[in-house]
Amino acid sequence: MLLANKLIAIVGGGPGGLTLARLLQLKGANVRVYERDLDKDARVQGSTLDLHDESGLAAIRKANLLVAFKENFLPGADKKLIVNERAEVFFSDHETKVDENFGHEHFRPEIDRGSLRKILLESLQPETVVWDSHFISMEAQNGGWLLHFKKGPSAFADMVIAADGANSKIRPYITDIKAFYSGVTMLEGNVYHSKKATPHIDALNNGGKIMAFGNKKNVLLGQKGNGDLGFYTSFKADENWAANSGLNYADKTQLLTWFKKEYSEWSSIWYELFENATTPFIPRPIYCIPLNQTWKSLPNVTMLGDAAHVMPPFAGEGANMAMLDALELSESLTSDKYSTLQEAISFYETTMRRRAAIAAQESLENGERMHAEDALNTMLDMFGRH
């Protein structure tokens, strides 16, 4: 095996990095995951993920974790409502969507990010994850790389895999191609104990997710398994809106005033979200890879997930693409078809770029549809076809 007697460093402990670690360990590879979080409980995980049969779930099956996934996914959380700015329901699949239909191409079971992370972490060998390892830089050494961190000792690896997200510090070692701004910014908020804190929204949502469209703007929200609620306001804005808005993202009153002004035609039912959200809100300008990106593959460093192909979230492909990257990369690196690691990496990267470009194009097009004047009818047509 090409990885025999080699130490593999995966930088980043998100779904893609942890899935890759699990898959490589199943093949006998020596893997370390360097994660900047202090420990497994250091950070509140974001909104739920819906895994797709051909990507995220395919990786889960290959990792022999489907039983654990079924024990932890959220039945019914993939049920959705499409509403207008006044919260009037135009589409609901709450009465028709089954709670479990594994193996069906359109079944996309939801799972909390924290639950998925726990499943993956518990599947790894002890001491695989090196916590509190905030990657700073690396330098070539003895045919491999010496990794440097903000705290703690440096570490050597024969091969490095970047799984460190959209702002990857390893990507520049591979390519100088940068993502471009999509034109959309999202403002993320979270509500603890939504049944009590936001009873009107909670009753409307009924444990699923809501997509609200009106006046070229969106509100997107979904239930978490612990009873919390994650939501996003999504709108077209200048790339530097987050820095130049003058908003204090820790001030709920100020953010509610902003919402009332910018979403002036929207129902007061949405005010519950801002009145009861935990702070700070998180502004997220949405970026996307150039669809034609390419680079010459290196013999001992590559990347996956957002580090390789950040894209808008409007096709639900981010985590799924990262986990499929992990699956395809693990198979390339452990295959006997390639004579060198560089050849194996090149095959993976060529396939990955082609696949990611298609998903990114779909995400960009969906983003335009969702922020258009007639977004509601467009999205109703789209979901009606399914």
CATH of the domain at 354: 3.50.50.60
Task: Say whether both 161 and 41 belong to one domain.
Answer: yes
CB 345 within 8 A of CB 332: yes
Give the residues across from 9 on adjacent strands: 32, 160
Q: Is 176 annotated as a binding residue?
A: no
State whether 14 and 151 are in the same domain. yes
Name the β-bridge partners of 76. none
β-pair partners for 11: 34, 162
- Per-residue pLDDT tens over the stretch 274-332: 999 999 999 999 999 999 999 999 999 999 999 999 999 998 888 999 999 999 999 99
Rounded distance between C-alpha atoms, residue 210 and residue 219, angstroms: 8
Distance CA(259)–CA(273), nearest Å, equals: 10
Contact 2, 342 (CB under 8 A): no
Is residue 173 located within the same domain as residue 298? yes
Cβ contact 316:367 at 8 Å: no
> Cα-flanking dihedrals φ and ψ of residue 136, to 5°?
-115, -50
Q: Are residues 269 and 297 in the same domain?
A: no
Do the domain assignments include residue 191? yes
Which residue, among 295, 300, 316, has the nearest Cα to 383 in the 3D structure?
316
How would you classify the pairing of strands 30-34 and 155-157? unpaired
Specify whether 184 is located in the same domain as 153: no
Backbone angles phi and psi of 284, in degrees to 5 = -130, 95
Task: Tell whether 50 is in a known binding site.
Answer: yes
User: Do 135 and 58 have their domain in common?
Assistant: yes
Tokens 């702002």 correspond to 167
Of the candidates 127, 110, 109, 107, the one whose C-alpha atom is nearest the C-alpha of residue 33 is 127
211/335 same-domain check: no
The domain of 186 spans 180-288
- Whether 92 and 83 have beta carbons less than 8 Å apart is answered as no
Taking CA atoms, 115 is separated from 15, 122, 311, 352, in Å, by 11, 11, 24, 27
Q: Is residue 302 part of a domain?
A: yes
| pTM: predicted TM-score of the whole model, two decimal places | 0.94
Q: In a 3-state reduction of DSSP, which class is residue 100?
A: coil
Beta strands 144-149; 155-157: pairing state:
antiparallel
- What local confidence, expressed as pLDDT, does residue 45 receive? 57
Is 342 inside a domain boundary?
A: yes
User: In angstroms, what is the C-alpha Rg of the chain?
Assistant: 21
β-strands 89-92, 110-111: how paired?
unpaired
- Residue 85 located in a structural domain: no
DSSP letter for each residue of 335-357: -SS-SSHHHHHHHHHHHHHHHHH
The answer as to whether 106 is a domain residue is no
Tens digits of pLDDT across the chain (386 residues):
889 999 999 999 999 999 999 999 999 999 999 999 988 887 655 678 899 999 999 999 999 999 999 999 988 888 999 999 999 999 999 888 777 778 777 788 899 988 999 999 999 999 999 999 999 999 999 999 999 999 989 999 999 999 999 999 999 999 999 999 999 999 999 999 999 999 999 999 999 999 999 999 999 999 888 899 999 999 999 999 999 999 999 999 999 999 999 999 999 999 999 999 999 999 999 999 999 999 999 999 999 999 999 999 998 888 999 999 999 999 999 999 999 999 999 999 999 999 999 999 999 999 999 999 999 999 999 887 54
Q: How many CB atoms lie within 10 A of CB 29?
A: 21
Boundary residue ending a domain (288, 320, 350): 288
55 shares its domain with 191: no
Q: Is residue 278 part of a domain?
A: yes
282 located within any domain: yes
Domain assignment present for residue 382? The answer is no
Q: Is the Cα dihedral 49, 71, 123, 53 positive or negative?
A: negative
Residues 270 and 300 in one domain: no
Number of domains making up the chain: 2
Q: Is 86 annotated as a binding residue?
A: no
Cβ atoms of 184 and 367 closer than 8 Å: yes
Determine whether the annotation assigns residue 32 to a binding site. Answer: no
**Are residue 217 and residue 230 in the same domain, yes or no?**
yes
The Cα 78–Cα 87 span in angstroms is: 19
Domain shared by 194 and 282, yes or no: yes
Domain boundary among 267, 288, 309: 288
Last residue of a domain, one of 288, 313, 341: 288
Say what the pLDDT of residue 213 is. 98
**230 and 192 both lie in a single domain:** yes
CATH number, domain with residue 196: 3.30.9.30
